[in-house]
Chain A
């Protein structure tokens, strides 16, 4: 009896991610959601620029590699090319989604574009070797904030779910993490809901996954999870930030 198997929506290509990086978990959760909803054949994924730039190699559905930050605009085009059939998701990091692609993110949300956005927030630019991200914490040491992020000099981190929740547009916004089994299960549920919303035509769903970057944080995988719990989660509280359908049903 098979008790654990690789989701069909994942290819056999070995992941290039660093040991302890949580991208692998999130890839798997996305693939499981695609499998369980039976949508692989009509799903088109948009990879970003950043550590997950080569996500197009890892998902079995059709994949598009977008320019840095532009995934929501590319996704808009793909979705609008066949809105009845195409299921479209973007998979983006914090630099991609919350810095260079902020305009594309905000406007896709404001339009309630019927897409699913998976947002990996690990508070650092991983692919380029550990520079300050829009979500780097005050005091966080990175290659480009070597004395710690000083809010007086370069401002404060961007809280994406909180910010987007002020818009009338988006359908669903939830922040999750994958630091332990319980939270992985909750993240899975959120990601699946984000795809389900799209199938039902409800609109823009964004799942922010608070993640680790052991390599660029300079920590072991285990210490990175501890750092996430001690520093990231207090600043980025988990929870549902917007669920329009639930709110409307409650009325």
Chain B
């Protein structure tokens, strides 16, 4: 076991990316994720990598598109309003089947919103995030350790499935400091025969492209892409269960909301309420299997979110509305307190799952 170091969540992402073999970072300043860019600016020149501050979020994601086209690991990071600007690039990355890691350290919205933590980009992240049919693998860390681990995992999954992996964190995750172990196994290199690295006059030219003017061709690549997505749904969903063995009530939360909720669940248990927690780690694919086995046993699900209720829709779908799903939330940069979540659990227990 390697020594642990005390790091900010944002720095853990940056260091983990370097450990994962990423040598190209492009970004644009925005709070609360700027530590990632600052870390990369300091480190990359010393290890033969590239840090470049782009003229815009749009340019940054297109620089990512360029490096990814050549087969190398590459990333960008931003926060909510910046991710909206990157939307165009995310769609093109998907259309051209290019791997990339994109970090969204979310802040309150809509519009310029605020700079405090939020989870209100859940829909944007899990539904693709821009025009056209596509998905991103969405990873939701709830500790600094996971900020690092899921960054490495994100690069691996992005390469494996030729798509964008997004770290969907929030301002708290980005800013808080915790001890973290950076002892990762080296990633398996993935062959990229499609990459535009120059023909060397030894092969036909490669073309990285998302344009298909023949509708039947475009339909075909969409169906093929969704076949790949199906494999991901079957194999890559991740979640954590907490006190779920005998649970009659189930709190569902990710990221900072899950940490708060764990405290509330432990408190409720002390009061004799049989409650547990499911923490989705992948938001897409949503871990439906975790919910399937709870159906018929759970009287009420409580979705704890830093949004007006976005993941709650996936909980309803995953539970096939077999029990009521209620929302416990704060927004605008506010974080639910353990007391608020505990109160929601107590209310659910009092109602006994009555619809």
Contacts and interface: CB of A to CB of B under 8 A. Distances in A.
Interface of A: 11, 40-44, 46, 53-54, 56-57, 59-67, 70, 73-82, 85-87, 103-104, 106-107
A44 B196 contact: yes
Interface stretch (B64-72, B220-228, B248-256): B64-72
B59 A104 contact: yes
A81 B202 contact: no
B197 A82 contact: yes
B74 interface: yes
Nearest to B197: A62
A106 B208 CA distance: 25
Interface in B36-74: 50, 52, 54-56, 58-60, 62-70, 72, 74
Contacts of B74: 77, 81
Minimum-distance CB pairs A-B, first 8: A77-B66, A73-B62, A62-B196, A107-B55, A77-B63, A70-B62, A74-B66, A41-B201
B72 A74 contact: no
Given A61-B199, A63-B196, A67-B89, A78 B58 contact: no
B63 A74 contact: yes
A103 B205 contact: no
B67 A62 contact: no
Counting chain B CB atoms within 10 Å of each CB, which of A73, A77, A78, A107 scores highest? A77
10 contacts: A53-B211, A62-B205, A64-B196, A64-B209, A65-B210, A70-B89, A74-B63, A74-B66, A78-B67, A86-B198
A62 B59 contact: no
B206 A62 contact: yes
B207 interface: yes
Given A66-B65, A73-B60, A78-B66, 18 more contacts: A41-B202, A61-B205, A63-B206, A63-B208, A66-B62, A67-B88, A70-B65, A73-B65, A74-B63, A74-B69, A76-B63, A77-B24, A77-B62, A77-B66, A78-B69, A80-B52, A80-B63, A107-B54
